Amino acid sequence: MHTSTASPERPDTSVWLAIFAGLCASLVSIGLARFAYTPLIPSLIQAQWFSAHDVVYLGAANLVGYLIGALLGRPLARRLTQRNALRLMMLAVTVAFFACAYPVSVSWYFGWRLLSGIAGGAIMVLVAATVLPHVPAARKGLASGAIFLGIGLGIAGSGTIVPLLLGLGLQATWLGLGALSLALTALSWFGWPSELPHATTATAQLEPVEPTPPAVYLLFAQYAFMAAGLVPAMVFLVDYVARGLGAGAHVGALIWVMYGLGAIVGPVSYGFLADHLGARTGIRLVLVVQAITLGLLAVSHSFLALALLAVVLGSFPPGIVPLALARVHELVPDHHRQQVAWSRATVSFATFQALAGFAYSALFNATGGQHALLFVIAGGAILIALILEHATKLLPSSAEQRCCAE
């Protein structure tokens, strides 16, 4: 019989193990599977594994997979249980790393990059729903920040481990990433918590379904534009510095390390904002800072300015996840409906991220590599998300109060 999850004041050891498992999952499936690809782009082109055109679209394959995974995550968990689905997805990413060590063809690579994206989307939908119910309410923001810290660690690792591995060759780099992914999968294997009783889901099915509050749909739209705003720096920052500004691959790698440092700080600091200022205020503050930063990136050329901007930009992709999740928890009262809302938010994010990935890639190729234009467009997407935040004032004031009431 399962009685305890954690003490109301302080998480117990099993909860910390669950948070660690969540960190490993986000590290493997997003941090490494997506972000380790960015510093590999110049090497993939130079080694003539693929053309520059193909390499850019292979990067977008991961984003398409992420959307598919976000849609499949909950059905997969219903069939396998959340814990087993998470384990399977981590194994899928590991196999994809090993497969990418062999450049058989563009379609082979596309398939494996797509699979790694599917795993990432499914994990993003499931990981918080699996771990956070076992965490005391006052610590949920910080705990979700710790889970998604794995994304930041992956970004930072991709800027430090990948260049070291590349000294051994491109094939060795992919094999090394596969070995690291396998080790993290093994370390997290027994850390996943048991399923909570399904009484809440059963009860939810018996009770009349409440309409989704308008503020939740507004959050979906905001989250979608945030996704569109983060893609250019996420995909093109290293290439912008190395080739666009002519600073070379070494300086590009250093800027990516700074982006990675921001990504480490982002999840926990944004989670802290959610716990102490509230998610809505935190989102407003972050969007203002990101819009300004993207505007400055389009016109900055000095190493110091680029390094500082990279830290701020790097905090955003992993950091906005715990903030958006906290906002869902503010707007939706019960656990089952929170899971559904978070799954939909992730699908919204993934859809715009995938569309933006292909659109930015097409625009980049069509304009002959105009990086600054991409950053300006990204800043515009963030501004739209900010304007949507202010649109919450136009919603009926009772709507949010009603949905937040028990």
Q: How confident is the model at residue 136 (pLDDT cuts 50, 70, 90)?
A: confident
Residue 77 has, within 13 A of its CA and on its CB side, a CA count of 24
Measured over the CA atoms of residue 386, residue 389, residue 390 and residue 394, the dihedral's sign is positive
Q: How confident is the model at residue 279 (pLDDT cuts 50, 70, 90)?
A: confident
Quick one: pLDDT at residue 87? Answer: 95
pLDDT of 11 reads 53
Give start and end residues of each alpha helix (H) in 247-315. 249-276, 279-297, 303-314
Looking at residue 394, what is its pLDDT? 66
What is the structure's pLDDT at 9? 46
**pLDDT above 90 for 343:** no
- pLDDT score of 204: 42
For the residues of 71-128, what is the DSSP string, one character each?
Answer: HHHHHHHHHH-HHHHHHHHHHHHHHHHHHTTS---HHHHHHHHHHHHHHHHHHHHHHH
- The pLDDT of residue 200: 42
Token pair 């398409």 in the structure block, residue? 64
Chain mean position to CA 396: 32
pLDDT at 277: 87
Q: What are the pLDDT digits (tens) for 151-199?
A: 888 888 877 788 889 889 999 999 999 999 999 999 999 999 877 654 3
Return d(Cα 307, Cα 305) in angstroms, integer.
Answer: 5
What integer is the mean pLDDT of 120-134? 88
Using alpha carbons, list the distances in angstroms from residue 158 to 27, 50, 334, 405: 11, 20, 38, 44
- Mean pLDDT within 132-146: 79
DSSP conformation class of 367: T
Q: What is the pLDDT of residue 211?
A: 67
225: amino acid identity, one letter: F
Look at residue 379 and tell me whether its pLDDT is greater than 90.
Answer: yes
404 pLDDT tier (thresholds 50, 70, 90): very low
Domain residue ranges in the chain? 13-192+213-404
Given a cut of 60, is residue 32 above it in pLDDT?
A: yes
Per-residue pLDDT at 125: 87
The Cα 155–Cα 315 span in angstroms is: 10
**Which range has the top average pLDDT, 113-122, 274-283, 390-399?**
113-122
Of the two residues 3 and 137, the one the predictor is more confident about is: 137
Residue 210 pLDDT greater than 70, yes or no: no
Q: What is the mean pLDDT of the chain?
A: 84
pTM of the model: 0.78
* More confident call, 233 vs 160: 233
Report, as an integer, the average pLDDT of 262-282: 87
Token duo for residue 349: 């994010």
Place of tokens 């069509």: 366
Dist CA 264 CA 275 (whole Å): 18
pLDDT at 227: 92
d(CA 198, CA 202): 6
CB neighbourhood size of 274 (10 A): 28
Question: Does position 328 have pLDDT exceeding 70, yes or no?
Answer: yes
pLDDT at 100: 94
Which element (helix H / strand E) includes 184? helix 170-188
Percent of the chain with pLDDT over 90: 35
As its CATH architecture, domain 13-192+213-404 has Up-down Bundle (1.20)
Cβ atoms within 10 A of the Cβ of 57, count? 19
- For helices 335-366 and 316-331, the axis angle rounded to 10 degrees is 150
pLDDT score, position 405:
39
The 3-class SS string of 16-59 reads HHHHHHHHHHHHHHHHHCCCCHHHHHHHHHHCCCCCHHHHHHHH
Residue 207 pLDDT > 70, yes or no? no
What number of other Cβ atoms are within 10 A of residue 387's Cβ?
12
- Decide which of 377 and 273 is more confident: 377
